[in-house]
Amino acid sequence: MIRHWKTAIVAGWTGIALIALIALIALIALIALIALIALLALACGLVLGLAIASQPTP
């Protein structure tokens, strides 16, 4: 029997919580990156659309 089993349980749960926190931060960063790429694509589309719309009609 482990002598300090309470310490082992606390350390184990702390490790699990830390891994979950890191995974959550990584997920938030990934979502932010996807949103940034979508915003960049929207801006490019807006600029392209304005460039096409501002062409003089023949």
Question: From CA 27, how far away is CA 20, in angstroms rounded?
Answer: 10
Q: List, as one string, the DSSP characters of 7-56.
A: HHHHHHHHHHHHHHHHHHHHHHHHHHHHHHHHHHHHHHHHHHHHHHHTSP
In the block, tokens 């931060």 appear at 25
Q: Tens of pLDDT along 34-56?
A: 999 999 999 999 999 999 999 88
Question: Rounded mean pLDDT of 17-24?
Answer: 97
| Coil, strand or helix at 4 | coil
Residue 2: pLDDT over 70: no
Handedness of CA 12, 17, 21, 23 (dihedral sign): positive
